[in-house]
Structure 1
């Protein structure tokens, strides 16, 4: 489960950036094509945050849908997997969103 190491990294980054302040809320963006399970991140986040400045913080996760651009016709399409076929028949797609995992925002008190 790589979500444990991801959650641990998020907690470490937030605790470091808080400079001793208490972290109240963390907002993550997780792309649906990132192979990261939001429910597993939620569980691991609380475990990793124990005894840190992030303990007790609310974790908000925004799931970003997958999108690709067809390199043949330029059409943008929604995708659930990192491959697919455009309505024009081309399978030559460029992923443009849905793979990201980033800390979007952190609230401290």
Structure 2
């Protein structure tokens, strides 16, 4: 489960930022995770529960904002939400389109005290 390693890095960044701001506790850690990021939000929750122990985030809540996939077809300039994993343009049926949104994996919000 690669999510544990990823959460270790995210939590380290969050703790560093919270301490830099003079906080002694993280109350909420919120992330934005794209549907095409390859990360399973439920696994992130489990990983967070493991890595937060004995840190200033030990009592923190964890939330994930899911970011939908948005593609762009340069052939016909259509922006669309794909309905399957092929990301084929629904207008001109070009098989490859640019993914403009949905690969995010970022720390979005911290609530500290």
Provide TM-score, normalisation by structure 1: 0.93
Q: 1:108 aligns with which of 103, 107, 112?
A: 112
Q: Cα offset for 1:11?
A: 1.1
> Aligned-pair RMSD on alpha carbons?
1.1
> Runs in 1 of length 4+ with deviation above 2 angstroms?
none
Partner SS, residue 107 of structure 2: strand
Structure 2 gaps, min length 5 = none
Structure 1 gaps, min length 5 = none
The equivalent of 1:47 in structure 2 is 50
Partner SS, residue 51 of structure 1: coil
Partner SS, residue 91 of structure 1: coil
Matches within 5 A, 1:61-72: 61-72=64-75
Instruction: Confirm whether residue 7 of structure 1 aligns to residue 11 of structure 2.
Output: no
Provide TM-score, normalisation by structure 2: 0.90
Q: Deviations over 1:34-59 (max 9, x none)?
A: 00000000001011000001111010
Q: 1:73 and 1:91 mapped to 2: Cα distance? A: 12
